[in-house]
Structure 1
Amino acid sequence: MRRIVVHMMVSLDGFFEGPDHDLGWHRVDDELHAHFNEQLAGMSAFLEGRVTYELMEAVWPTADENPDFPPVMHEFAGIWRATPKIVFSRTLRGVGPNATVRTEVDPDEMRALKQQPGGDMTLGGVDVVETFRRLDLIDEYRLYVNPVVVGGGRRLFGTADSPTDLDLVETRPFGNGVVLLRHAVRRP
């Protein structure tokens, strides 16, 4: 059975983006990017909101053609192109190759996808994460806590209306100060 895994960066004070959508505080170096590549290469799908998809699609389809990018970024470009994407948006109509659009999250469709063979599916985008959390579709959280206090912006879990019990599965520090906190959702 495939799992749905949240894979996101967060500040020490719980923000996924700073004021004015700032992501400049994300501390992604070659070591962390290589880890991301290793984790994401085995995913069977990227499940994303429109904003996350558009940010990724603006860079990764041709990133391996940029000689200024390091090899880990070139590697991720291939991962991005090869992995199927489901984009959740009510406004987006056109998407790139290997992507489809859904206007809403259908819990039955997502549960059916989880029953199919293959690698886990990664979930990104704060609004879609909250929708999946509320529908109890998330199986694991991989949060990369950056050693920075942003002080404002948009919180990852700003709208949670009920607790989600989790079990700590793994912690891993990286040389740049980022710490992976990996939690599995506890279900009866």
Structure 2
Amino acid sequence: MRTLIYGFTVSADGYINDRDGNIDWTDPDDELHGFHNDRFRDVEISLHGRRLYELMADYWPHVADDAPPIERDFAGLWVNKPKYVFSRTLTEVGWNSTLVSSNAVETVRRLKSEGDGILEVGGANLAAALIPHDLIDEYQLYVSPVILGGGTPFLPQLEKRIPLRLVERRQFATAQLLRYVTA
């Protein structure tokens, strides 16, 4: 069974962006960026919601040749990584992506059962659809030292508790990683 990881940089009060949708406060230092690059190499398939896919597709395939090497590295990884994009409004996707407009929960259950690698989910709305069905195996919070006071929450409102077990804590210059697995 594949492991499904949900991770994001979050504010100290639990938001992945501010009230205007900005993520300019999430810029990683080189150590954290390199960590993300190495972690992403181990991901077999990346699952994206529409908004995150559009944000990523607007930037990563177009990284300039004179961009820092760490950014060029991630750009190559992202473009070539198999991706499933969950959207009812998009009509096409590029960069090694498969568009899924049907039931996200059933599609993710199938993808988890078809191998033993790592899946990652990107996009708070997509994750919110999967979390109540116990499909997330690991949560990675990169807590940034900022309080936003509003925005898109990392986690949705839930009907029940989800017990977690802390398996890693790591300090970077721009964030602290808290990695939890479901208990």
The answer to whether TM tops 0.5 is: yes
- The alignment yields a C-alpha RMSD, in angstroms, of 1.4
Alignment partner, residue 52 of structure 2: 52
List runs of 5+ in structure 2 lacking aligned partners: none
Paired position in structure 1 for 2:166 = 168
* SS of corresponding position for 1:80: helix
| The one of 171, 178, 181 aligned to 1:181 | 178
Q: Is the CA contact (8 Å cut-off) linking 1:86 and 1:101 kept in structure 2? A: yes
- In 1, Cα distance between the equivalents of 2:104 and 2:49? 14
In structure 1, the partner of 2:19 is 19
How far off is 1:106 after superposition?
4.1
The residue number in structure 2 matching 1:138 is 136
Q: Which runs of 5+ in 1 are unaligned?
A: none
Residue type of the alignment partner of 2:34: A
- 1-structure distance, mates of 2:103, 2:31: 34
| Cα distance in 2, alignment partners of residues 161 and 155 from structure 1 | 16
> Is 1:9 paired with 2:9?
yes
Residues 52-83 of structure 1 show CA distances to partners (whole Å, capped at 9, x for unaligned) of: 000000111131x341x211100001111111
Q: Secondary structure at the match of 1:19?
A: coil
C-alpha distance in structure 2 between counterparts of 1:154 and 1:75, whole Å: 28
Per-residue deviation, 1:27: 3.4
Contact 1:9–1:26 at 8 Å: present in 2 too?
A: yes
1:47 positional shift = 0.3
Secondary structure, aligned partner of 1:37: helix
Change (3 A) 1:72 1:102: same
Which residue in the other structure is 1:110 paired with?
Answer: 108
Give the percent of matched residue pairs that are identical in Structure 1 and Structure 2.
38
Contact 1:111 1:137 in 2 (8 A): yes
- Paired residue secondary structure (1:72): helix
Shift of 1:112: 2.7
Indicate whether 1:82 and 2:49 are aligned. Answer: no
1:25 aligned counterpart, secondary structure: helix
SS at match of 2:89: coil
Post-superposition Cα deviations, 1:83-114, rounded to whole Å, max 9, x if no partner, equal: 11101111011101311111243434322322
User: How far apart, CA to CA, are the structure 1 residues paired with 2:34 and 2:93?
Assistant: 27
User: Which letter does structure 2 place at the counterpart of 1:79?
Assistant: L
Counterpart code for 2:73: E
SS of 2:26's partner is coil
